[in-house]
């Protein structure tokens, strides 16, 4: 188990990283604007369910395999980018829906949750983060490495959920006030679609494929 000093230092470092908005935050903000605060919080839950998948993978060493395999890394990156772009294009071309349909539908909230899970599971940058960042706070002499990774990963998820929920509540509140008029619904759809397409392109172009180590 990590000691109190290591856990405290990790929490501070994680908070510093989490306070810088990244792709997950932009996804959450777009969902909050589209579906309100409730939808934003559901998207946070989905994103961090996906993060838990990466935590478990890091604990058993799968993140290391992903990061070291150029072909696998590229495949995951491109699949994730294609998924985001598909979400964006769908919003750019479909007719505007009513405010009630986008904010209160339980089926819409279920889609928001699972889209958040898929978006983060297919984000190789999250795997790269856990592979590069967590080991700096893991000390094999203090116990089982996998257990330490799980504790640190769970701490990161809790802190991330708290910070991302703040973005969701703020964006949801502002979005309801600005886009609650029927005439503004179409603009909201197009804006969220543009955000997803931009995130997909950034995912495809921004994450560098890891190089194989020389034998």
> What does the alpha-carbon distance between residue 11 and residue 30 come to, in Å, rounded to a whole number?
27
Helices (H), the chain: 4-18, 23-60, 62-68, 70-93, 99-104, 106-121, 124-132, 145-179, 182-206
Close Cβ partners of 129 (under 8 Å, ≥ 6 residues apart): none
pLDDT, position 45: 95
> What does the alpha-carbon distance between residue 200 and residue 207 come to, in Å, rounded to a whole number?
11
Report yes or no: 117 and 45 within 8 Å, Cβ to Cβ. Answer: no
Closest to 85 measured CA to CA, from 97, 74, 77: 77
Give SS3 for 115: helix
pLDDT, position 129: 74
pLDDT, position 166: 92
pLDDT, position 185: 57
pLDDT, position 113: 93
Q: What is the pLDDT along the chain (215 residues), one digit of tens a residue?
A: 667 787 888 888 888 777 777 778 888 888 888 788 888 999 999 999 999 998 888 887 766 665 566 676 677 677 767 877 887 787 777 765 555 444 556 788 888 899 889 888 887 667 777 777 777 777 766 767 778 888 888 899 999 999 999 999 998 887 766 655 555 556 666 666 777 677 677 667 765 544 444 33
> What does the alpha-carbon distance between residue 47 and residue 164 come to, in Å, rounded to a whole number?
9
Report yes or no: 134 and 153 within 8 Å, Cβ to Cβ. Answer: yes
pLDDT, position 98: 52
pLDDT, position 76: 66
């Amino acid at each position: 188990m990590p000691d109190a000093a290591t856990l405290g230092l990790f929490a501070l470092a994680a908070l510093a990283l989490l306070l810088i908005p990244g792709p997950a935050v932009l996804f959450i903000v777009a969902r909050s604007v589209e579906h309100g605060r409730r939808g934003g919080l559901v998207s946070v839950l989905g994103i961090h369910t996906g993060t838990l998948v990466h935590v478990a993978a890091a604990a058993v060493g799968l993140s290391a395999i992903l990061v070291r395999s150029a072909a696998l890394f590229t495949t995951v990156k491109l699949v994730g980018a294609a998924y985001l772009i598909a979400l964006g294009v769908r919003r750019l071309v479909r007719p505007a829906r009513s405010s009630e349909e986008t904010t209160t539908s339980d089926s819409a909230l279920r889609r928001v949750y699972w889209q958040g899970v898929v978006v983060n599971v297919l984000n190789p940058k999250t795997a790269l983060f856990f592979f590069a960042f967590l080991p700096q706070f893991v000390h094999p002499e203090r116990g089982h490495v996998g257990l330490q990774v799980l504790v640190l990963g769970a701490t990161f998820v809790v802190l991330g959920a708290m910070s991302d929920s703040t973005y969701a509540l703020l964006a949801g509140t502002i979005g309801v006030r600005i886009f609650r008029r029927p005439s503004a619904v179409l603009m909201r759809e197009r804006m969220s679609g543009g955000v997803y397409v931009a995130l997909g392109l950034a995912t495809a172009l921004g994450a560098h494929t890891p190089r194989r180590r020389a034998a």
